[in-house]
């Protein structure tokens, strides 16, 4: 079994949709209803087995506030996947999601795996975003779609399993084609004495 690090950017979305709660549920399998808003960015990891590989998810959880938006490209540029979260009880978060997708498509890696998560599916009685509409949109952009509840642990692991499925295996990855370089230690010069 080989270990494969997968960088995941998990916060192209508005504040308060439950981004950090999804990450916390996935990594720690717990839920804190009083979780503090992310300031800047946080980083968490979790290793899971997928087929004959161990996938080590390196998850960048960035703040959703507008003032932190300029930081987003630093995190998603090198990512294998991006999770874009909206709150099913707030239509405006789904509308904003489409702007985040557009930005990611314009400035992100060309073959980044995109996942759309409609969080808070436990609040079905106050739903504003219809599941069919979100699924149709995700299909139109070839994205993973899942409705989640970080609070009730619904579809959290399934979200990341589907990301693992969509990321090409290490064997299928093309060779670097000369991109990059090797670092080599230069031989040290012999010590010289001055006199």
Residue 174 lies in a domain: no
Cα–Cα distance for residue pair 150/20, rounded to 1 Å:
9
Residue 192 lies in a domain: no
Residue 33 lies in a domain: yes
Residue 173 lies in a domain: no
The pair of three-digit structure tokens given for residue 181, joined into one six-digit string: 């370089």
Q: Which of 55, 59, 25 is nearest to 45 (CA)?
A: 59
Rg (CA), the chain: 20
- pLDDT for the residue 140: 98
Residue 21 lies in a domain: yes
Residue 105 lies in a domain: yes
The pair of three-digit structure tokens given for residue 187, joined into one six-digit string: 């031989």
Structural domain harbouring 41:
6-166
- pLDDT for the residue 163: 94
pLDDT in 10s for each residue of the chain, 195 residues: 667 677 674 555 556 788 889 999 999 999 988 876 655 567 788 999 998 889 999 887 765 545 445 555 555 567 788 899 999 999 999 998 998 899 888 888 888 899 999 999 999 999 999 999 999 999 999 999 999 999 999 999 999 999 999 987 766 544 444 343 334 444 555 555 555
The total number of structural domains that make up the chain: 1
**Helices 19-28 and 156-166, packing angle to 10 deg:** 90
- pLDDT for the residue 185: 47
Residue 39 lies in a domain: yes
Residue 185 lies in a domain: no
Cα–Cα distance for residue pair 108/72, rounded to 1 Å:
10
Distant-in-sequence, close-in-space partners of 178: CB < 8 Å, separation ≥ 6: none
CATH number, domain of 78, equals: 3.40.50.300
- pLDDT for the residue 78: 72
The pair of three-digit structure tokens given for residue 49, joined into one six-digit string: 């087995």
């Amino acid at each position: 079994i080989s270990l494969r690090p997968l960088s995941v950017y998990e916060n192209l979305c508005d504040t308060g949709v439950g981004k950090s709660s999804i990450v916390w549920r996935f990594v720690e399998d717990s839920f804190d209803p009083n979780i503090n808003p992310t300031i800047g960015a946080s980083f968490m990891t979790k290793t899971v087995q997928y087929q004959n590989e161990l996938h080590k998810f390196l998850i960048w959880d960035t703040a959703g506030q507008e003032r932190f938006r300029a930081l987003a490209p630093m995190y998603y540029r090198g990512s294998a996947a991006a999770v874009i979260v909206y709150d099913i009880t707030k239509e405006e978060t789904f509308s904003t999601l489409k702007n985040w997708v557009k930005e990611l498509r314009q400035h992100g890696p060309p073959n980044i795996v995109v996942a759309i998560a409609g969080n808070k599916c436990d609040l079905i009685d106050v739903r504003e975003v219809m599941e069919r509409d979100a699924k149709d949109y995700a299909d139109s952009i070839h994205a993973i779609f899942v409705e989640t509840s970080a609070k009730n642990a619904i579809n959290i692991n399934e979200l990341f399993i589907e990301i693992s499925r969509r990321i090409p295996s290490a064997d299928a990855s093309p060779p670097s084609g000369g991109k990059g370089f090797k670092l080599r230690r230069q031989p040290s010069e012999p010590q010289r004495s001055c006199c």
